[in-house]
A and B are shown apart, each in its own frame.
Chain A
Amino acid sequence: MAQKYLMKGNEAIAEAAIRAGCKLFFGYPITPQTELSEYMAKNMPKREGLSLQAESEVAAINMVLGASAAGARVMTSTSGPGISLKSEGISYIVGSDLPCVIVNVQRGGPGLGGIQPAQSDYNQATKALGHGDMHLIVLAPASVQEMATLTGEAFDLADIYRTPVMLLADGALGQMMEPVDFEEKPHRALPKKDWACTGHGGSRKHNIVNSLYIEPEVLEKTVVDRFKKYEQIEQNEVKYEEYLTEDAEIIIVAYGITSRIAKTAVRNAREKGIKAGLFRPITLYPFPEKQLDALADKENIKTFLSVEMNMGQMVKDVKLAISCKKDVYHFGRTGGVIPTPDEILTNIEKYVGGAK
């Protein structure tokens, strides 16, 4: 059995990134991701890497752009307020087809908000990470182990599809400790970075990393080509987990930390004789639409309940995914409040068999 380490989620991401060959980390201090930056600052210099605290979130993401353009595996991490500042750079990174990993350890918002865990950056992460027609792959870990595993996968996905990948965690996952192992998974085949700006050495045409296309038809083509890439991602990279959905009457849809609490609520519901199940998206983009839709086609499943730490963001994607074939409800706590299993169970009881 692989060795287990007791680590905070934030630290697990950092350690997994170093093991995945991340050579540069650029960050800016913000709660509740602090341990990630600190781990990088401490460990990167010892392990042939570099960790640099930038003067701003804006500078940090642009340092990521530069290092990625130079062909390196690179990462940055922050929380919601920092993502807002980084969104300019993220859009340029997408427009330049550069790989990198961006971590958002979510806290309550809007504005300065709070520092307690939240999932209120779902819409931002899946729909509005920057200006222009664009997506990022968004991965949502639900345990410290997944913080590590998905970090490794994020770097591979970024390189394979030449796209930024976001790890969307939250303050609870970042701060909590659980046992984690860093067992090596076989790497996926990675394409050569022949587009990188490494100096042409007199042996090839000069490379240009660029997001500007002044001719509309040319820009349209780059965007359309990128969306073909998104189609591939949607076909090949969807990840999700189902728990007790087979005979369920009501399906809870929840991701990240909320999905764990929901799992407890589902168990408690089953003990009370309510046939509840859980559907947990692991990729938020691409969203597991087809898989949810397949559930909605099942006779026994009557109701969906989206449980989120926000005022109702993912619930709209659930409705779209199943074309409103079945009733879809939302239960959420926001502002940094973590829902309890009891609260979720109360809502299961409320909505099972239709709203009462």
Chain B
Amino acid sequence: MVVFDKPKALTETPFHYCPGCTHGIVHRLVAEAIDGLGLEDNTIGIAPVGCSVFAYNYFNCDMIEAPHGRAPAVATGVKRADPSKTVFTYQGDGDLAAIGTAETVHAGARGENITIIFINNCIYGMTGGQMAPTSLIGQVTTTTPYGRDPNLQGSPLRICEMLSTIDGVAYAERVSVDNVKNVLATKKAIKKAFEIQQKKIGLSIIEVLSTCPTNWGLSPTKATEWLRENMIPYYPLGVYKDKTKEEGEQK
């Protein structure tokens, strides 16, 4: 019999996220991966600045809250202080791909044995719907009221593609949580990322395409549709780097 239960790696604290927000799903998947691999006792998580800043209250492992964008540097400090620990960061698109791009890229360049869970929902959530580095062309946000214009605000960054060119990155996969099948694939990907970390072969990053119904101004159902129709074509799902496989098998 399968009993639906809370993962051990989550605390009893109720999530504060908006209705339809997918942070809750991804938190749970991360916790299930930690449980599944029996890592909770020995894991340190790094929370970002952004909607998921309170992740330190939700994950039941030791948690550190990093300055905006600096989670990969903080994770580096933790991992280098004790390489036997499992260390992960949980970051949004503004945190990871705008203010923290350098920290992300260089943690990859150093091949830090850490796992990054990267939530890409094309918008700044906590500050109320401003343009993110991953906002799509034409996307209306509070700071792109006429739609994102590539001549003015530049083009959205494809992080997995970019990081896959870095030698120190061992695993990079983009997944989505817009339907059950993809959620299951995300769970698998996150588990894989933590397994890669145990192998000590470099940085692993899972980019999760996520929704922000509140700041997109859409119902949760419409939001998942928007993700499918707009985000996946620009951000194709798949494995972009996998050091555990032969070169030829990679995408």
A201-225 vs B, Cβ < 8 Å mask (1 yes, 0 no): 1100011111110000000000000
Contacts of A59 in B (CB 8 A): 70, 73, 76, 102-103, 106
A67 touches B60 (CB 8 A): no
A-B contact count (CB 8 A): 135
B79 cross-chain contacts in A, Cβ below 8 A: 66
**A62 is contacted by which of B43, B70, B85, B105 (Cβ under 8 Å)?**
B70
**In the complex, A70→B87 CA distance in Å?**
11
Q: Are B78 and A56 in contact, with the CB atoms below 8 A?
A: no
Contact A201 B42 (CB under 8 A): yes
B76, A63: Cβ atoms closer than 8 Å:
yes
CA distance A71 to B79 in the complex (A): 12
Asked if A210 contacts B102 (CB within 8 A), the reply is no
Measured between beta carbons, the chain B residues less than 8 angstroms from A92 are 66-67
B54 to chain A, nearest CB (A): 8
Greatest chain A CB density within 10 A among B40, B43, B78, B106 is at B78
Chain A residues near B64 (CB, 8 Å)?
65-66, 69, 96, 197, 208-210
Which residue on chain A has the smallest CB distance to residue B103? A59
Q: Which of A72, A206, A210 contacts B81 (CB 8 A)?
A: A72
Q: Is B42 in contact with A65, judged by CB distance below 8 angstroms? A: no
Closest Cβ of chain B: how far from A63's Cβ, in Å?
4
Selecting from A47-55, A242-250, A339-347, the interface stretch reads A47-55
Q: Which of A23, A56, A206, A211 contacts B60 (CB 8 A)?
A: A206
* Size class of the A contact interface (CB-based, 8 Å): 35 or more
Interface size, B (range): 35 or more
Interface of B is mostly: helix
* Distance between Cα atoms of A202 and B11 in the complex (Å): 13
Residue of A nearest to B60 (CB): A206
Cβ-defined contact, A89 with B67, below 8 A: yes
Residues of B within 8 A of A58 (CB): 70, 73, 102-103
Give chain B residues whose Cβ lies under 8 Å from the Cβ of A62.
66-67, 70, 73-74, 77, 103
Instruction: Indicate if the CB atoms of A208 and B57 lie closer than 8 Å.
Output: yes
A40 at interface (Cβ–Cβ under 8 A)? no
Residue B61 interfacial (CB < 8 Å):
yes
Q: A64 in the interface, Cβ–Cβ < 8 Å?
A: yes
Interfacial residues, chain A to chain B (CB-CB below 8 A): 23-24, 26, 50, 52, 54-56, 58-60, 62-72, 74, 88-89, 92, 96, 197-202, 206-212
Sample of 21 A–B contacts (CB below 8 Å): A50-B80, A58-B73, A59-B106, A65-B74, A66-B74, A66-B75, A66-B80, A69-B64, A70-B81, A72-B81, A88-B67, A89-B67, A96-B65, A198-B44, A199-B42, A199-B44, A199-B62, A200-B61, A201-B42, A206-B60, A208-B63
